[in-house]
Amino acid sequence: MNKLLLTSVFLEFLESFYIKYGSFIPLAESDVLEHLKKTSNSDLSSRLVKTTYRAGLASAPVAGFMVTYNKHNLRLEDLGTLEDQNWLNDQIINMYGELIMDVAEQKVHFFNSFFYKQLVAKGYEGVKRWTKKVDLFSKWLLLIPIHLEIHWSLIAITMATKTISYYDSQGIVFRHTTNNIMKYLQSEAREKKQAAFQKGWKIAIIKGIPQQKNDSDCGVFVLEYCRRLSVKQPLLFSQNNMPQIRKRIYKELCDCRLND
């Protein structure tokens, strides 16, 4: 394939990527090289890739771009929280949780990020209706993102063993959160007449898990914990993987599905 045609293929790929994802935030050089390898079966000079790739990154985002999935709407300002070292917002956390539940085929329940705040503010009565159409006790895993001040952490509940596990990417332990969740589960069990779940709960503070080395990636760590726990994969990732994970999450949100 001659250079002119190859450049045309390259630009076509960039344009389709731009339209699909609204910006070039999730684009990596490896994406470009992989696409060109598939379409041209040749090794394009790194100079051409880098030049056009950088030009693409400088392009303005697609005006009015939005991702809609179920009741979730993501604008570019939401997706932009996945760029560099920005803090993730609730919209990103909650839609990604929806994708996790889809993959788990009703075996995992992901609580909205506002659930815990409402529980603390108004007690069980304030969140009782949140599970009106959900049988928590038929799930094998519950995932509750916890946002305290400016930090995200995770509570994961294994229903078979009645274990409430606390995951934190900075090793911080907010023990009152696990106690509050235990009380919630006991109240929910009474409300739903599930005698077996009214007692016997255990609390575990999970140590030896991947830890962040900055002050901005806690939300990304929580989503990666959730993703891997929901499909029973080991937590084998690190701070070094954060740039790639951020790009992957951005693409998954726009694709409205988790990638293999």
254 has catalytic annotation: no
How many residues would you count in the chain? 260
- Which residue has 């999730």 as its token pair? 26
Residue 226 annotated among the catalytic residues of the structure: no
The Cβ of residue 132 has, within 10 Å, a number of other Cβ atoms equal to: 6
Q: What is the pLDDT of residue 31?
A: 83
Q: Which residues of 47-65 are buried (b: 16+ CB within 10 A; e: fewer)?
A: eebeebbeebeeeebeeeb
Annotated catalytic residue 218: yes
Residue-wise pLDDT for 149-195, tens only, equals 889 999 999 999 999 999 999 999 888 999 999 999 999 999 999 99
pTM for the full model? 0.91
Distances (CA, A) of 18 to 25, 60, 121, 212, 228: 9, 10, 42, 30, 29
Q: What is the pLDDT of residues 113-135, one digit of tens each?
A: 999 999 999 999 999 999 999 99
Point out the catalytic residue in the list 109, 217, 218, 254.
218
Given pLDDT bands bounded at 50, 70 and 90, which one contains residue 110?
very high
Catalytic choice (72, 168, 217, 254) = 168
Rounded CA-CA distance 142/110 in Å is: 6
